[in-house]
Amino acid sequence: MRDLSAAHIEAFLEMLSAERGAAENTLQSYRRDLDDLYDFLISKKTTPLLAESKNLSAYLADLGKRAFAPSSQARRLSAMRQFYKFLYAEGLRGDDPTAVLDAPKKQRALPKNMSEADVSRLLERAALEAAEPGKDRLNRLRMLALLELLYATGMRVSELVSLPLKVLEQDGRFLMIRGKGNKERLVPLSRSSISALKAYGEAKKAKESDEEPSSWLFPSYGSAGYLPRQVFARDLKGLAARAGIKAASISPHVMRHAFASHLLAHGADLRVVQELLGHSDISTTQIYTHVLEERLRQLVETHHPLAKEAKNRD
Q: Annotated active-site positions, please?
A: 156, 180, 253, 256, 279, 288
CB-based burial label for 159 (10 Å; 0-12, 13-18, 19+): buried
Give bridge partners of residue 175 from the DSSP assignment: 187
Integer Cα distance of 126 and 203 in angstroms: 16
What are the residues facing 186 on neighbouring strands?
176
Contact 118, 236 (CB under 8 A): no
Spatial neighbors of 72 by CB under 8 A, at least 6 apart, are 63
Query: How would you class 247 by CB atoms within 10 Å of its CB: exposed for 0-12, middle for 13-18, buried for 19 or more?
Result: middle
